[in-house]
Amino acid sequence: MLSKKVDTILISFEEAKKELINAKRIVLTGTPTKIRNLNLDLLQKKEILKKLGLKQDKPIILVFGGSQGAKAINDVLINIINQNLNKNYQIMWAPGPLQFDLVKQRIKNLSIQKEVKIVPYIYNMEEVLNCVDLVISRSGAMTITEISNVGKPAIFIPLPNVSNNHQEYNARVLEHVKAAKVILNKDLNADVLSKQIEDILKDYSNMQKMGENAKKIAIDNVEDKIYEEIIRLIN
């Protein structure tokens, strides 16, 4: 709507350019975020995992749906846990503050809850992202940026019914560089998600490659690039 009127549009992904055919000037700057790759050593990672109540000897899946959670993802994950489909990995899960209590109540199999760490919200997301092996989430621009900065493989479940279907387009950016898999909301169920998780986890070298591929779309010095464009317009 604004592309015909503004002087400059700053974008997060190269693919966005083709959607802005009327823009006067488009500059790829990336999205500003404080989350970076910490290059943790084994001792640092061990200390963080200890604080989180997680172990080093099993893969860790991070699941979140944004600050408000994502009911579709939460419902499927509950089914996975209750069917004991997560026996080969641990889960770090932020279902969202509004759904936290309900999620806890719906997990029936108490014996496997020790493999699942459920929190209302993750405040140390940078540390957590740097420690986990795989991310499952919606695909907002900020989430895509954070995952690419840290370099983690991901399974994206784009939020449907958003303007111009932009979350699916976001997710496809990492899918195109072979850093992520995409499951559409309409296709989401416990069997589909569980199979996708197992397929990724069983091939450690490919999982590492997916993480390296994610880093390929990461953009350095985002804030400087944005600042330069602001100064250029002012001058």
Task: Give the per-residue pLDDT at 99.
Answer: 87
Contact between residue 27 and residue 225 where contact means Cβ atoms under 8 Å apart: yes
Task: Give the per-residue pLDDT at 110.
Answer: 56
Could you tell me the pTM of the whole model? Answer: 0.92
Q: How remote is the C-alpha of 207 from its chain's centroid?
A: 15
Residue 167 has pLDDT above 70, yes or no: yes
Can you tell me which residue has the tokens 């993802």? Answer: 73
User: pLDDT tens digits for 85-120?
Assistant: 999 999 999 998 888 888 888 887 655 566 899 999
Q: How many CB atoms lie within 10 A of CB 215?
A: 16
The residue ranking higher by pLDDT, 65 or 37, is 37
Q: Where are the domains of the chain?
A: 1-30+220-235, 35-218
Q: How remote is the C-alpha of 126 from its chain's centroid?
A: 12
Domain 35-218 listed as CATH 3.40.50.2000: yes
- Residue 10 forms beta bridges with which residues? 27
Contact between residue 83 and residue 190 where contact means Cβ atoms under 8 Å apart: yes
Task: Give the per-residue pLDDT at 109.
Answer: 61
Residue 215, token pair as written in the block: 């880093």
Contact between residue 137 and residue 76 where contact means Cβ atoms under 8 Å apart: no
- Residue 156 forms beta bridges with which residues? 137, 182
Rounded to a whole number, what is the distance in angstroms from the first to the last CA of the chain?
A: 26
Task: Give the per-residue pLDDT at 67.
Answer: 58
Task: Give the per-residue pLDDT at 162.
Answer: 83
Nearest to 62 by CA among 186, 211, 218: 211
d(CA 215, CA 200): 18
Indicate the DSSP class of residue 120.
S
Alpha helices by DSSP H, 3-89: 42-52, 71-82
Contact between residue 134 and residue 200 where contact means Cβ atoms under 8 Å apart: yes
User: pLDDT tens digits for 40-80?
Assistant: 999 999 999 999 999 999 999 999 986 555 889 999 999 99
d(CA 151, CA 180): 11
